[in-house]
């Protein structure tokens, strides 16, 4: 008589395991910024600036081109990894006026993403500065410089509280009579 052994395993299908802290919560390195859907960013910007139909389409086309370039490089939705010169080389077939409209939209998308906190400010500013150097029109260059100036952080030697208190110290103060009236 052959004795049959029953196979025992600690695995029980469909049984939930206890959840512990996830790898994302315990990661010792900073996590990458969230991925941005290109069309969503373009629609947000178009709504913010009250763009008409052709301007909205320019923004969507630019966002899709940038998003496709990022996906081809293995960085889908990671707008902080955009390289304007490389993206522009891919669009060499466009006429010059369309390339300038693309660059204008690119600056707007990066600026909007950085100002709303979707794209880290430093990479966005670097890309916008690069676009400023790549463009041949004064309009795009001025828009890029103005947008980059909006992304300037406070000087590193002054903390925000010190900057705020310094501006209060330079404000005009009330005289003795005004203080006496106020205290009474």
Q: Is the pLDDT of residue 170 over 80?
A: no
Top pLDDT among 182 and 96 is at 96
Q: Could you state, in order of their start, the residue ranges of all structural domains in the chain?
A: 38-150
Q: How far apart are CA 105 and CA 39, in angstroms?
A: 13
pLDDT of residue 167: 47
Q: How far apart are CA 58 and CA 79, in angstroms?
A: 18
pLDDT of residue 6: 58
Per-residue model confidence as pLDDT tens digits over 100-155: 999 999 999 999 999 998 999 999 999 999 999 999 999 999 999 999 999 876 44
Per-residue model confidence as pLDDT tens digits over 15-46: 444 444 444 444 454 555 567 888 999 999 99
């Amino acid at each position: 008589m052959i004795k049959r052994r029953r196979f025992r395993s600690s695995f029980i299908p469909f049984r939930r395991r206890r959840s512990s802290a996830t790898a994302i919560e315990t990661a010792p390195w900073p996590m990458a910024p969230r991925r941005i859907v290109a069309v969503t960013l373009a629609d947000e910007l178009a709504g913010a600036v009250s763009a008409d139909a052709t301007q909205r389409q320019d923004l969507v086309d630019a966002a899709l081109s940038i998003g496709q370039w990022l996906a081809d490089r293995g960085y889908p939705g990671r707008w902080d990894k955009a390289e304007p010169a490389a993206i522009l080389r891919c669009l060499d077939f466009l006429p010059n006026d369309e390339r300038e409209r693309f660059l204008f939209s690119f600056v707007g998308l990066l600026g909007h993403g950085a100002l709303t906190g979707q794209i880290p400010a430093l990479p966005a500013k670097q890309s916008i500065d690069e676009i400023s150097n790549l463009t041949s029109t004064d309009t795009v260059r001025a828009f890029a410089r103005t947008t980059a100036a909006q992304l300037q952080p406070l000087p590193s030697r002054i903390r925000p509280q010190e900057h705020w208190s310094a501006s209060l110290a330079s404000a005009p103060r009330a005289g003795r009579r005004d203080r006496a009236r106020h205290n009474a």
